[in-house]
């Protein structure tokens, strides 16, 4: 078993906090990269193509259904437990597809 040192030993909250400080520092220094609309569009397209190759992940998204009703109000699930279980399954599916790449 690998030892948990450095970032691996930190909580997700602590890692986010450190990453946030780094991002803020880079912006102050003027060295942070800011995507142009074309770069952002291209990155989104590539990400969408990559995610859509995982049919199990896409099926899980489809089972969730739309997040809004036709009137524009947030949909209220009758029972939140299945939705939470499905969200956990989505996270697991996404993590396994990223690990496979």
What angle, rounded to 10 degrees, do the helices at 80-100 and 55-64 form? Answer: 160
Q: Which residues contact 26 (CB under 8 A, 6 or more apart)?
A: 32
**Residue 42 gets which letter from DSSP?**
H
pTM of the full structure: 0.35
Burial readout 46-63 (b: 16 or more C-beta within 10 A, e: otherwise): eeeeeeeebeebeebeee
Domain boundaries, the chain: 11-45, 53-68+77-101
| Token pair listed for 98 | 């990223």
10-34 tens-digit pLDDT: 899 999 999 999 989 988 898 888 8
49-93 tens-digit pLDDT: 888 888 888 888 787 776 655 555 555 555 555 556 667 777 777
């Amino acid at each position: 078993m690998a030892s948990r040192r450095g970032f691996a030993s930190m909580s997700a909250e602590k890692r986010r906090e450190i990453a946030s400080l780094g991002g803020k520092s880079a912006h102050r220094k003027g060295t942070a990269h800011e995507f142009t609309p074309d770069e952002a569009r291209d990155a989104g397209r590539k990400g969408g193509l990559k995610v859509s190759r995982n049919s199990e992940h896409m099926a899980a998204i489809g089972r969730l259904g739309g997040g809004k009703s036709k009137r524009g109000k947030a949909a209220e699930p009758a029972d939140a437990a299945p939705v939470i279980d499905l969200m956990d399954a989505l996270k697991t599916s996404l993590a396994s597809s990223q690990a496979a790449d």
